[in-house]
Amino acid sequence: MKFGVVAQQGGTQNPTNLVYNGNFENWAAGTSTVPDGWTSGGGSFARESGTIKIGTYSCKLFTSSSTMSQRIDAEKGIAYWQGRTVTMSCWVYASAASNAKLGLYDGQTYTFSDYHTGNSTWQLLKISKTLAANATSFYAYCLTDTTGTAYFDGATCMEGSSIFSYSPKVPIDYQTGTFTPTLAFGGGSTGMTYNTQYGAYTKIGNLVHVEIIIILTAKGSSTGNAVISTLPFTTNSVGQTGAIYFEDVSYTGSVLVYLGGSATTINLVQLVEAGTSSAITHTNFANNAYINIVLSYIAA
């Protein structure tokens, strides 16, 4: 059987659903295990295509004490959630009473929803919980207590005490990788040689965190302003600054890195107390110069 989704309970737009794959459409590990994004706490699970509420599939739990959970606090960190109220809801279909329910856990206590009444209909179960001030984790649960079969579909967990119609969690662009940074003076690098060229990045949404290490064995004969290329993602339209650590590079005052708008390069700048700045050039570098840059910037 297949039914429409619940009408939104208020407002004009659903808040962020914190549950990944709450519609149970993705089963990369196979159709007889927990769906993607969920962790088994024991029991039996299966992808179900007959008894569904939303989309193409639901998740079937069909042995006693079948439990699956999803950790919610990983993205924002548990400190954000301490003391905050959250609400979980999910459509549940069951033919046995006192069996299927939802749960929330904050590392201190479990809180459970009412059971499905067992009348062989889809019921929207819901539960709100204010996480403890000393919460150490934040998990959402779908579970059964007895041997009766239950089906779960359209799971949501949202900040606040209201429930809304199902909406999929918007995936965050999360990437990690490495790149090879290069140094140039006035756009050239004639005769320059390296001991180390290391670049690593983590991208979460449009926030990019970068670490760069460059160690020279010879600075070469090129002249002009020092510029490091090439960042893995283009900056947004606003210029940004970051910190740098040098060895065997001379400078006056303090030093920083400057990222221009819509760029993939890093400029090295020295700033004196009077507030004036000037570029660091080839004359500031020794042949064995060491550069370590750690910065975060907003990508376009």
Residue 88 phi, psi (nearest 5): -110, 140
- pLDDT computed for residue 300 by the predictor: 86
pLDDT band of residue 172 (cuts 50, 70, 90) is low
Torsion angle in degrees (nearest 10) through CA of 281, 283, 284, 286:
120
Does 100 share its domain with 185?
no
Task: Look at 133 and 295; give whichever has higher pLDDT.
Answer: 133
- Is 26 inside a domain boundary? no
- pLDDT computed for residue 275 by the predictor: 76
Does 189 share its domain with 261?
yes
The CATH number assigned to the domain holding 133 equals 2.60.120.260
Task: Look at 9 and 25; give whichever has higher pLDDT.
Answer: 25
**What is the number of structural domains in the chain?**
2
Does 183 share its domain with 259?
yes
| Mean pLDDT for all residues in the chain | 90
Contacts of 276 by beta carbon, 8 Å cutoff, 6+ apart: none
- pLDDT computed for residue 203 by the predictor: 85
Report yes or no: 113 and 157 within 8 Å, Cβ to Cβ: no
The CATH number assigned to the domain holding 270 equals 2.60.40
Residue 184 lies in domain: 174-298
Task: Look at 151 and 6; give whichever has higher pLDDT.
Answer: 151
- Per-residue pLDDT tens over the stretch 76-119: 889 999 999 999 999 999 999 999 999 999 999 999 999 999 99
Q: How far apart are CA 230 and CA 180, in angstroms?
A: 8
To the nearest whole percent, how much of the chain has pLDDT over 90?
A: 72
To the nearest whole percent, how much of the chain has pLDDT over 70?
A: 94
pTM of the model: 0.58
- Is 5 inside a domain boundary? no
